[in-house]
Amino acid sequence: MNSGIATPPDLQAIALAGETLHLLPSGAALWPATGTLVVADLHLGKSERRARRWGALLPPYDTAETLARLDAVLDATRPTTVICLGDSFDDSAAADALRDDVRLWLARMMAGRRWIWVAGNHDPAPVDVGGTSLDEHRAGALTFRHIAQADADPGEVSGHWHPKLRLPVAGAGAARPAFVADGRRLILPAFGAYTGGLSALDPALSALMAPDAVAVLTGRTMVRVPLAACHSAAASSPGPSSPGRSPFRSPAAAARSR
């Protein structure tokens, strides 16, 4: 199929259930054969939800920052279909509270495209912003859902866990959002601003992945690293990045905030 999608030069390609997906520095994934762009965990309205529920104030720029990044990826890739893998809104009230200018921004990005909102644990109900709301979406050999299922057929694409990874080498710097993939499934990093993360070495993620799984770190210079090597390095130098512990927060706390 000639999808008309543009393929940026800086990417990592992976094979999944006989399909080729391109992982982008932004944390989005491209399926060029079908003209599809996939993003996970936008968490639009996160600062509004925190202020409403807990009075904890974050700078109120997260929605604009997330949409600006997404707009740039759309301009660069020109997809005909966009799939948002759940937790696109921090909760239903945050979706209802979107300003008119944000709704117009979303409408402009959606215009002329098929736009699919997959339900997440933060936004399980359809939202009134246009597009199509689904519990999950199947296309060809691939299934798109919010949370990975341990017994899923090959070809699962999901989000939810906000995986991040700090390379186990001196001078590697801070942890970066990361894709986690093996031949059966792909888990995307959170695309939204102000989103936390869970170590890609955490048991919750390790239990889902095959021994040959890799992490692909996002950013200007993408890095692909076998997770087994990271586990071995972490085991030899116990600390915050050791298997079984997240360098970001406890698994229970991470699950509560996703």
pLDDT given at position 47: 62
pLDDT given at position 212: 94
pLDDT per residue over 189-237, tens digit each? 999 987 889 999 999 999 999 999 999 999 989 999 999 999 888 877 6
Asked, for residue 4, whether it belongs to a domain, the answer is no
What pairs with residue 197 in β-bridges?
none
Q: What is the CA radius of gyration of the chain?
A: 17
Asked, for residue 137, whether it belongs to a domain, the answer is yes
**Domain tally for the chain?**
1
Asked, for residue 5, whether it belongs to a domain, the answer is no
Asked, for residue 3, whether it belongs to a domain, the answer is no
Asked, for residue 88, whether it belongs to a domain, the answer is yes
Asked, for residue 166, whether it belongs to a domain, the answer is yes
Strands 198-199 vs 163-165: parallel, antiparallel or unpaired: parallel
238 φ/ψ sector (left φ>0, alpha ψ -120 to 50, else beta): beta
Domain that holds residue 188: 12-257
Distance, in Å, from the CA atom of 98 to the CA atom of 126, rounded to the nearest integer, reads 15
pLDDT given at position 98: 86
Distance, in Å, from the CA atom of 10 to the CA atom of 162, rounded to the nearest integer, reads 22
What global pTM score does this model have? 0.86
pLDDT given at position 245: 38
Q: What is the DSSP secondary structure assignment for residue 153, as one 8-state letter?
A: P
Report whether 160 contacts 121 (CB < 8 A): yes
Helix (H, G, I), strand (E, B) or coil at 42: coil
Asked, for residue 191, whether it belongs to a domain, the answer is yes
Helix axes 62-77, 46-54, angle to 10 degrees: 160
Ranges of residues in the chain whose predicted pLDDT is under 50:
1-2, 240-257
Asked, for residue 6, whether it belongs to a domain, the answer is no
